[in-house]
Amino acid sequence: MEALQLEEYIEEQCELKTYTLEDYEGDVPRWCKGCGDFGILSSVQKLLRDDQVAPESVVAVSGIGCSSRFPHYLNTYGFHGIHGRAMTIATGVKLGRPDLKVLVTMGDGDCFSIGGGHWLHSMRYNTDLTVIVMDNEIYALTKNQVSPTTHCGTSTNTTPHGAVLKEMNVLSVMLGITNTSFLAQTASWTPGHLDKTIKAAWNHKGTSFVRVLQKCPIFSPQAFGQDGKVKAPFTFLRDENGIPVDKVFEKMAPVIDHNCKDLDAAKKIAMMEETSSPLGLLYHNPSIPTYEESLHATADKITPEEKVVRLNEELDKYTI
């Protein structure tokens, strides 16, 4: 046996295999050049590599849209579902298999519009899911229609004279939902901040919701400042329990102090939409029980044989 083979053999036998980035690479991504989705994919892959997460222990669930092609590009288990329903499938996976790590990727239309009902209720369930919404403020795959987060006045194919409605403040919505336990916002062009935010979300037990601000290079290049040049409408949140703010970001945008344990402070920040979009961990409460823990606590752990005994006891009640 050659030395290399032996090493591989030993690694396999002793489960000492070291996962590299390649182990998490699925199909070659087919997103457009300049799309922020690439950065998020690479962020997730780095995270899995850093934590040496077994690829078979992860399920990536998505809906429909550009962002929802994500599972195809990640070499874990993946479920590319139907429009708006990713949260329901992911909840099912986690309820069925609490031992699996579940990642959900959606777009703004997918999550906030057609999936709106599931979004709200899933936040309340607080199932242990890492949720990433890639928010480019536009329907891109269907070719440029207005989304709930499209800014008022934006011209799209369905609003050629400008969107008439004011955009939805999704952060304040989530901070109003019982059991919201982790809410963060980051941007696709702040790579270090993105990585750290996704990592913090991954490590949170409960529904960790990350909204990633990004532009669609084709249909919303104007989103978040002209040509993606970040001028102003951001504020970084500095918080020892939150996402560290690199020096370089301090030059890009204002930085304010925040306490992510303080729900009222988080709500205030979320409502500052007119002037600034907060980047960082808005709210974190690790003590809220997860849905799967609460639900499974109601079920006895029994053997099949014991189940037959108990089922017979139920039948006794119906026996004449």
Partner 1 sequence: MPHHGVLTMKESKKIKLDEHIVEFVCDAGEGAQKAAVSFAKVSAKMGNSLWTVEIIPSEIQPPPHTMGSTSGNRIRLSSKTVTNGGNLTNVVVAFNEMNLLSRIKGKMLADDVVVIIDNKWANDPDETIRKQYREILDELKAKGADIYEVPIEEKTMTLIDNPQRGKNMVALGMLGYLYTRDMDILADEIRSIFKKKSKEIQDNNVALLTLGYELAKETINFQYVIESTPFKVPMVAMNGNEAVALGAVAAGFEHCSMYPITPATSATHALSEYFGRMGGIVHQAEDEIAAIGVALGSYYAGRTTLTITSGPGMALKTEFLGLTVMTETPLVVVNVQRGGPSTGLPTKIEQGDLLSSLFSTPGDAPKVIMAPTDIEECYHVMITARKIAEEFRMLVIVLTDANLATGTQLYPRPKLSTESFPPPMDMSPIPVGTKPYDWDEETGLSRRIIPGQPGGMCRTTSLNHSPEGKVNHDPDMNQKAHRMRSRKLMTLQKSLKKPEVYGDKEGDLLVVSWGSLKGPIDEAVDNLRKEGKKVGAISLQFLSPFPPGLKEIFSKYKKVMVVELNYSDDWDDPMVNEDTRRYSQLSMLLRSHTLVDVDCFTRVYGRPLMPMEIYDALSKRLAQK
DSSP 8-state class, residue 24: G
- Asked whether position 14 contacts partner 1 by CB under 8 A, the answer is no
- Asked whether position 42 contacts partner 1 by CB under 8 A, the answer is no
Q: Give the residue, chosen from 43, 45, 67, 88, that forms a contact with partner 1 under the rule CB under 8 A.
A: 88
Are 249 and 193 within 8 A, CB to CB? Answer: yes
Q: Give the residue, chosen from 92, 191, 225, 289, that forms a contact with partner 1 under the rule CB under 8 A.
A: 92
DSSP 8-state class, residue 82: -
Q: Give the residue, chosen from 71, 206, 242, 280, that forms a contact with partner 1 under the rule CB under 8 A.
A: 71
- Asked whether position 105 contacts partner 1 by CB under 8 A, the answer is no
Burial of 56 (0-12, 13-18, 19+ CB in 10 A): exposed
Best CA proximity match to 198, nearest among 20, 46, 31: 46
Q: Give the residue, chosen from 46, 49, 80, 267, that forms a contact with partner 1 under the rule CB under 8 A.
A: 80
CB-nearer residue toward partner 1: 1 or 315: 315
Relative to beta strand 182-187, strand 277-284 is antiparallel
CB-nearer residue toward partner 1: 62 or 220: 62
- Asked whether position 57 contacts partner 1 by CB under 8 A, the answer is yes
Whole-Å CA distances, 73 to 27, 42, 95: 5, 10, 25
- Asked whether position 320 contacts partner 1 by CB under 8 A, the answer is yes
Relative to beta strand 208-213, strand 255-257 is unpaired
Separation between Cα atoms, residue 71 and residue 61, nearest integer Å: 7
- Asked whether position 210 contacts partner 1 by CB under 8 A, the answer is no
Separation between Cα atoms, residue 25 and residue 38, nearest integer Å: 12
Q: Give the residue, chosen from 8, 27, 51, 257, that forms a contact with partner 1 under the rule CB under 8 A.
A: 27
Whole-Å CA distances, 278 to 20, 143, 268, 285: 33, 28, 11, 18
Separation between Cα atoms, residue 80 and residue 65, nearest integer Å: 10
- Asked whether position 11 contacts partner 1 by CB under 8 A, the answer is no
What number of CA atoms fall less than 13 Å from residue 83's CA on the CB side? 9
- Asked whether position 311 contacts partner 1 by CB under 8 A, the answer is yes
The region of 2-10, 77-85, 238-246, 253-261 touching partner 1 under the rule CB under 8 A is: 77-85
CB-nearer residue toward partner 1: 38 or 79: 79
Q: Least distance (Å) from partner 1 to the CB of residue 299?
A: 5
| Count of positions on this chain that bind partner 1 (CB under 8 A) | 56
- Asked whether position 56 contacts partner 1 by CB under 8 A, the answer is yes
Tell me which residues touch partner 1 (CB under 8 A): 26-27, 54-57, 59, 61, 64, 71-72, 75-82, 85, 87-97, 99-100, 117-118, 120-121, 295-296, 298-302, 304-305, 307-308, 310-312, 314-315, 318-320
